[in-house]
Amino acid sequence: MKNFFAPPAEQPRLAADKIDAEYRRMRLKVFLGAFFGYAAYYLVRKNLSLAAPGMIAEGLLDKPTAGFAMAGIPIAYAFSKFLMGSLSDHSDARKFLVVGLIIASLVMASVGLVPYSASIALNGWILFGFMLVVGWLSGMGWPPCGRVMAHWFSQNERSFKMSVWNCSHNLGGGSLGILVSVGVAILMAMGITQSWRAAFIFPSLVALCVAAFCWWALRDRPEACGLPPVEEYRNDYTSRKAEKGEEQKIPFRRLFVDYVFKNHLLWMIAIANVFVYFVRYGVSDWSPTYLQEMGLLSADDSRFAFSLFEYAGIPGTIICGWMSSKFFQGRCAPVNVIFMLVVVLGIVGYWQAAPIAAALGCGVNVVVYVALSLAGFAVYGPIAMIGIQALSFVPKNAAGTAAGFVGLFGYLLGDAVLSKIVIGHLADSSLGWGVTFWMFVAGSLVATLICAVTWGKERRMMAERAMK
């Protein structure tokens, strides 16, 4: 198995007159492979969120158990990212991504084929186990994509390419809702009453098709295709110089303690990340259940609203980054504050969709679509900006550790604990859905406050760097 994943050997260099055309062709193929490959991983991530309303209606789950089961993915994914990142550095990116996607797709499809029992608790544990496996396999998506982007695109063009590639998870997450609706229609036409099984089966089949495309499109690095390194091709040796100068080998313990654990700014944005992730996943993952349970939207319309939340994040992330560069000299805190306040408006509109629709004389579905689109548009920008802040608050040789630290907080506390387990129990209690929306609003405001506190500190830090 180790030999199977080993990076491909360097191939003899192509003739000089063929290099440019082949490089252009391969860079396009590789980018498309990484883009759609990572998008496909999101076709097998949130499936339980869309299946939960049907499973709850049939008495196979309740909201606390559904939340517990959904928590399996972020718990496993948070730790998988650390390990898989290291493994992918010594593996063929094509094989690493494709194998992970194939197994994750097969496991998620199996979730839709399992005969569930009358015991809600047993079903919860079965689903939790499946989600743990899928979450662990999901960690095989980002690292090989990062490896591919680093090998095929040089330093001076990588930021833009990565920003475009980063929209792939929104494309995948948004497409999930639409694919589930198509799958439900197919199963119903076949006379299968448990149409919620389509949420697991149909997107997984599409993901398997994407895996085949990625096997055709992806290549580990240019040298394995008879091409020169991208630094030579682009005449950009920035990254190589950085490796020789600044990137010193420092023991992990010292790296973590000195640059991460003792960095109070990093702790602040890590806590902010908890609440941003809580809002992102809490609003998104529970929207189908909430909208159907409250009778606001049909099953198909609720899945469409779920997709709008994800799709809206694409322009939101791009505009947030543009505003940071255009108006704030690359500082992240100001745009985080602005966008998180917009998130609050979107959540309140979503929460109060029925009275707002009555006051405006329009359909509830219109208000829900607009409100969830607004929330999705605004929440994904701060997620990206907080990741950038994590890198800017530490030396370059601690960047990976800092990013992992901040991400761990977001996935474990924000996603798994707050958005899945806590919301599931609260929504099922006597307090009902109302208290969950108060928590979404409060979480957004806490994240806004923390980002506001880092505003001045970030400005002073960047001013000091500019003077050096």
**pLDDT at residue 241 in the model:** 47
Last residue of a domain, one of 179, 195, 227: 227
Asked if residue 317 is part of any domain, the answer here is yes
Are 149 and 189 found together in one domain?
A: yes
**pLDDT at residue 5 in the model:** 77
Q: In this structure, what token pair is assigned to residue 333?
A: 């805190």
**pLDDT at residue 122 in the model:** 96
**pLDDT at residue 208 in the model:** 97
Contact 196, 51 (CB under 8 A): yes
Asked if residue 238 is part of any domain, the answer here is no
Report the distance separating Cα 87 and Cα 462, nearest Å: 34
Q: CATH no. for residue 448?
A: 1.20.1250.20
**pLDDT at residue 465 in the model:** 56
**pLDDT at residue 282 in the model:** 95
- In which domain, by residue range, is 294 found? 247-460
**pLDDT at residue 146 in the model:** 81
Are 159 and 47 found together in one domain?
A: yes
Last residue of a domain, one of 193, 227, 261: 227
Contact 46, 104 (CB under 8 A): no
**pLDDT at residue 468 in the model:** 57
The number of domains in the chain is 2
Are 218 and 88 found together in one domain?
A: yes
Asked if residue 13 is part of any domain, the answer here is no
Asked if residue 7 is part of any domain, the answer here is no
Q: What is the mean pLDDT of each run of 10 residues along the chain (468 residues)?
A: 77 88 92 95 94 94 95 92 73 91 97 93 96 94 84 76 84 93 91 90 96 95 89 70 48 68 85 95 95 94 95 92 83 91 97 95 96 96 83 65 80 94 92 94 96 79 60
**pLDDT at residue 244 in the model:** 44
**pLDDT at residue 35 in the model:** 95
Are 368 and 260 found together in one domain?
A: yes
Report the distance separating Cα 261 and Cα 100, nearest Å: 32
